[in-house]
Structure 1
Amino acid sequence: MMTAALPTEMTEEKAQAAAWFRQLRDEIVAAFEALEDRHDSGPFADQEPGRFEVSETTRASADGSDAGGGLMSVMRGGRVFEKVGVNISEVYGTLGERAQNAMAARKGLPGMREDPRFWASGISLVAHMRNPHAPAVHMNTRMFWTPHAWWFGGGSDLNPCIEYEDDTAHFHATQKTHLDPHGADLYPRLKKWADEYFYIPHRNRARGVGGIFMDDHNTGDWAADFALTQDIGRAFLPAYLPLVDKRRVQDFSEADKDAQLVHRGLYAEYNLVYDRGTKFGLETGHDANAVLMSLPPLAKWV
């Protein structure tokens, strides 16, 4: 749970967090492009390996002042990835009245109305796959600062349209291994949180097979909380890449592809209706293309 933070600008801590998110982004981009290169057999192997297109993003402020931005890295039409985005951002400024009220109500920060400054940095990733046997995935980690409190958030969750029990077991076990050094109670708590957060009420079902999720995480020990956030990020590649390596060469049918498109519709519904990050990004003026990067290239509703 969030506790009162030290009343400082936390300049050094912000710099460390932003640099870590950039490092993690670079590692993931390199790993995904290497996966494209080694996919030399199976469906789509005769195509050119995919590469990320990188562009700078900006955040619009009401008065035209510098409000930060980030990097949007998107690969489309690869051998393995149909669309994958790995974005990082570092944004700052003052929150609008609606966001101030939300902070005051949900996070217990009434002081936001008197001093609505904020700073936020993070990494956000969503991958939609060519092969319907290979699972889609989401991951993000972030740090948020205000003059009144700071906190970390994020996690990762698996979204297969064709479920394999051993894939789900590997994904969860890898995350547990990375979280256990921070406390034996942490993984079950963050798993339960993910199950509740990534649930679609109007469909009465989960978005995928779960993962881990946290928000408002502040124990009062910034270094410990940052270390936990780093390990959530470090868990991602070993949890996910083996699953894609195993499934990317499988043959699939038209029915498999149809199931994938329907599941993507479910994913889009969640991100547009419930996802807090999508709402925050659009409400605070960040680049709309970067905020909506998570949406699949093709989807279907029945």
Structure 2
Amino acid sequence: MKMQDERQQAAAWFRGLRDRIVAAFEALEDRGPGQAAPGRFELRETQRGGDGGTDGGGGLMSVMRGGRVFEKVGVNWSAVHGELSPAARQSMAARGVPGIEADPRFWASGISLVAHMQNPHAPAVHMNTRMFWTPGAWWFGGGADLNPCIEYAEDTAHFHDTLRGACAPHGGDYYDRFKAWADEYFFIPHRGRARGVGGIFYDDLNSGDWAADFAFTQAVGAAFLPAFLPLAERHMAQDWNPADKDAQLIHRGLYAEYNLVYDRGTKFGLATGHDPDAVLMSLPPMAKWV
């Protein structure tokens, strides 16, 4: 198969990013408030296929629950392959993926992260980066977006400034383009509002230069911890009241609605037979609707 080395390189880098983020989050738990034991990730291997067919691969599902800082956080990595369903083929053909209807094979690898925080003043966050390959094309996608229930202007500015800095060396218009894409993508039509305060989002990135596109995707992934960790640390011990917690639970309901109805990654993971618990790890542990 073409691009075997590139695919292995991408999968290994996503796996290493997963390892670094897990270590950083556990270190933050050690510094977190309270006397309870610091949270730790539970690791489970996931598999796709296994019936002797062409579908295969799997990944690592890492979830921490009930920590000092994180109420629930998942950091998943996967590398999967197989054949796309007719519906997935039709969707990709409509997006302009060449040859997908004639040859439905695919390979995909990436990291997906969602964090729901104990303290209502600390923002929830989402990040993912991925590479997708078919016999006729390859591309990268991903991004990160911040989802506070109680917004702090300085948090929003720091998050966006960090992502802007990650984009700048790779394309003069990347931040503006991908911020606008995030604003559109993370909008919830049935609520008439955004899911959070945005970030960047990109998909189908293929400039013709695999190394350049991979370098940009690495920069996005590497920017995540500097963009988010200072915000979590700033608010993890902040005083809060029942009204703050109520606002957090209502906002989580909004988050759940988006992920179940609109999110591409959720739809793709379930449609291609990946472990449903890994796909749905983005859902909050508790939420509320009015």
Superposition TM-score, scaled by structure 1 size: 0.94
Task: Tell me how many residue pairs correspond in the alignment.
Answer: 290
Matched, 1:181 2:205: no
Aligned with residue 58 of structure 2, among 54, 61, 69: 69
Give the partner amino acid of 1:9. K
The question of whether the paired residues in 2 share the 8 Å contact of 1:61 and 1:285 is answered with no
Aligned with residue 58 of structure 1, among 38, 42, 47: 47
Give the partner amino acid of 1:117. R
Cα 1:113–1:292 shift into 2, 3 Å: same
Once the two structures are superposed, residues 37-86 of structure 1 have per-residue CA deviations (whole angstroms, 9 ceiling, x without a partner) of: 011x4xxx121100000000011367545511000000000000000000
Give the partner amino acid of 1:151. W
Once the two structures are superposed, residues 251-271 of structure 1 have per-residue CA deviations (whole angstroms, 9 ceiling, x without a partner) of: 100000000000000000000
Instruction: Look up the match of 2:210.
Output: 222
Instruction: Look up the match of 2:182.
Output: 194
Instruction: Look up the match of 2:105.
Output: 117
RMSD, matched Cα: 1.1
Once the two structures are superposed, residues 10-50 of structure 1 have per-residue CA deviations (whole angstroms, 9 ceiling, x without a partner) of: 000000000000110000000000000011x4xxx121100
Partner Cα separation in structure 2 for residue 62 and residue 281 of structure 1: 18
Partner Cα separation in structure 1 for residue 202 and residue 162 of structure 2: 17
The residue matched to 2:227 in structure 1 has which SS? helix
Instruction: Look up the match of 2:152.
Output: 164
Aligned with residue 29 of structure 1, among 22, 34, 55: 22
Partner Cα separation in structure 1 for residue 43 and residue 217 of structure 2: 25
Partner Cα separation in structure 1 for residue 273 and residue 259 of structure 2: 17
Once the two structures are superposed, residues 195-227 of structure 1 have per-residue CA deviations (whole angstroms, 9 ceiling, x without a partner) of: 000000000000000000000000000000000
Q: Give the superposition deviation at 1:151.
A: 0.2
The question of whether the paired residues in 2 share the 8 Å contact of 1:199 and 1:207 is answered with yes
Aligned with residue 2 of structure 2, among 6, 9, 28: 9
- Aligned identity (percent) is 73
Q: Give the superposition deviation at 1:114.
A: 1.3
The 10-residue stretch of structure 1 (125-134 or 52-61) with the greater mean CA deviation from structure 2: 52-61
The question of whether the paired residues in 2 share the 8 Å contact of 1:51 and 1:75 is answered with yes
The residue matched to 1:202 in structure 2 has which SS? coil
Matched, 1:131 2:116: no
Partner Cα separation in structure 2 for residue 241 and residue 201 of structure 1: 30
Partner Cα separation in structure 2 for residue 164 and residue 136 of structure 1: 13
Structure 1 portions without partners, runs of 5+: 1-7
Matches within 5 A, 1:238-277: 238-277=226-265
Structure 2 portions without partners, runs of 5+: none
Q: Give the superposition deviation at 1:109.
A: 2.8
Partner Cα separation in structure 1 for residue 54 and residue 204 of structure 2: 28
Cα 1:61–1:279 shift into 2, 3 Å: farther
Instruction: Look up the match of 1:93.
Output: 82
RCO (CA 8 Å, sep 6+): is it higher in 1 or 2? Answer: 1
The 10-residue stretch of structure 1 (59-68 or 111-120) with the greater mean CA deviation from structure 2: 59-68
Cα 1:198–1:61 shift into 2, 3 Å: farther
- Structure 1 stretches of 4+ moved >6 Å: none
Cα 1:260–1:284 shift into 2, 3 Å: same
Aligned with residue 296 of structure 1, among 261, 284, 288: 284
Once the two structures are superposed, residues 75-124 of structure 1 have per-residue CA deviations (whole angstroms, 9 ceiling, x without a partner) of: 00000000000000000011111111111112x13521211100000000
Superposition TM-score, scaled by structure 2 size: 0.98
